[in-house]
Amino acid sequence: MELNDEQLERYSRHIILKDLGVEGQIKILESKVLIIGAGGLGAPAALYLSAAGIGTIGIVDFDRVDLSNLQRQIIHSTNDIGRLKVDSAKNKMLAINPDIQVKTYNLLVNSSNIRSIIRDYDFIIDGTDNFAAKFLINDACFLEKKPYSHGGILRFEGQSMTILPGESACYRCIFKTPPPRDAVPTCSQAGVLGAIAGMLGTIQAAEAIKYCTGAGELLVNQLLVFDAKTMNFRKVKLNKNKNCGLCGENPSIVRLMDEDPPVCELKK
């Protein structure tokens, strides 16, 4: 692959980066990234990955744009209310960068469809809002050996970790199983500062680009946690757990299962 004049100009600020260069930009253009969830985290991640020129971006979401989404899901506009999120997202992504391919999946991932969807991609971004999906993505990425970025936000706080399946600590190494349903605050009760979604979604996009180009060091075996109230950022060291039910020494999870449907999803 060679870059044409327009690409050299469009991506010039990447190309002058010592850690990327033309070679790095070509890797970006040849990469395939899947974003699960076109919401708070997926929206900024999709915009930045499109702008960066990730060659193929898949975006998964079953939902339609709602007025209450617009406080943080910046890929959608007021006149998109009622549209499928994946269609609204695709429009904006191609408007930023017609150089890329966007594949849309208007569905909810579950144990029977997720493996075949992620199989086509190099890196996965978890932009989902519920624990059932987070555990499902973790398990599916492990079984398909796909690296992925975990992200979670609540109120003023966010957390992220990158997982290289089999090599680094996975989501289950830390969290084992979803929390008891009655312990989980619903999205509408807990609330979230919109800008936090942007902070975290862009961290996830940066991890995807780092993975695709090999630049820098990935956020593996550590959970980045931040609190926007104080702007404290910390990395909590978390090693692979030998008792992990998925990637530990005696795994009990060898195939996918669907956890209880999440509370948040029943909102409407």
Catalog residues that contact Zn ion under the rule CB under 5 A: 170, 172-173, 244, 246-247
- Binning the chain into helix, strand and coil, the percentages to the nearest 5 are 40, 20, 45
Q: How far apart are CA 100 and CA 48, in angstroms?
A: 12
Nearest approach, Cβ of 26 to other proteins (angstroms)? Answer: 31
Out of other proteins, Zn ion, none, which partner does residue 199 contact, by CB within 5 to 8 A per kind?
none
What is the spatial distance between Cα 187 and Cα 261, in angstroms, rounded to a whole number? 14
Residue 153 contact, options Zn ion, other proteins, none, Cβ 5-8 Å cut-off depending on partner type = other proteins
Question: Strand ranges (DSSP E) for 71-156?
Answer: 101-105, 123-126, 148-154
Q: How far is the CB of 136 from other proteins (least distance, A)?
A: 13
80 binds, among other proteins, Zn ion, none (CB under 5 to 8 A by kind): none
CB of 121 to other proteins, least distance (A): 19
> What residue 61 binds from other proteins, Zn ion, none (CB within 5 to 8 A, per partner kind)?
other proteins
Smallest gap, in angstroms, from Cβ of residue 186 to Zn ion? 28
Q: How far is the CB of 31 from other proteins (least distance, A)?
A: 22
Is residue 258 classed exposed, middle or buried when 0-12, 13-18 and 19+ CB atoms within 10 A define those classes?
Answer: middle
With b for 16 or more beta-carbon neighbours within 10 A and e for fewer, the 58-75 pattern comes to bbbbebbbeeebeebbbb
Contact indicator for 28, 14 with CB cutoff of 8 Å? yes
Angle of the 194-213 helix axis to the 21-29 helix axis, nearest 10: 110
Partner whose footprint covers residue 220, from Zn ion, other proteins, none (CB < 5 to 8 Å by kind): none
**Cβ closest to Zn ion, residue 4 vs residue 250:** 250
**Of Zn ion, other proteins, none, which one sits near residue 151, judging by CB under 5 to 8 A according to partner kind?**
other proteins
Q: Which does 55 bind (CB under 5 to 8 A by kind): Zn ion, other proteins, none?
A: none
Cα separation, 17 vs 11, whole angstroms: 10
Nearer to Zn ion, 14 or 150 (CB): 150
Minimum CB–partner distance for residue 60 and other proteins (Å): 10
The smaller minimum CB distance to other proteins, of residues 127 and 165, is found at 127
Binding site residues, other proteins, CB under 8 A: 37, 39-42, 61, 63, 69, 126-131, 133-134, 151-154, 157-159, 174-176, 179-180, 183-185, 187, 190, 192, 197, 200, 223, 225, 234, 236-239, 241, 243, 262, 264-265, 267
Cβ at position 2, least distance to other proteins in Å: 38
- Nearest CA among 34, 19, 131, 38 for reference residue 76: 38
Q: Which is nearer to other proteins, 211 or 226 (CB)?
A: 226
By beta-carbon proximity to other proteins, the closer residue of 191 and 216 is: 191
Which of 37, 253, 241 minimizes the C-alpha distance to 142? 253
Phi/psi at 58 (nearest 5 deg)? -100, 140
Helix (H) or strand (E) holding 195: helix 194-213
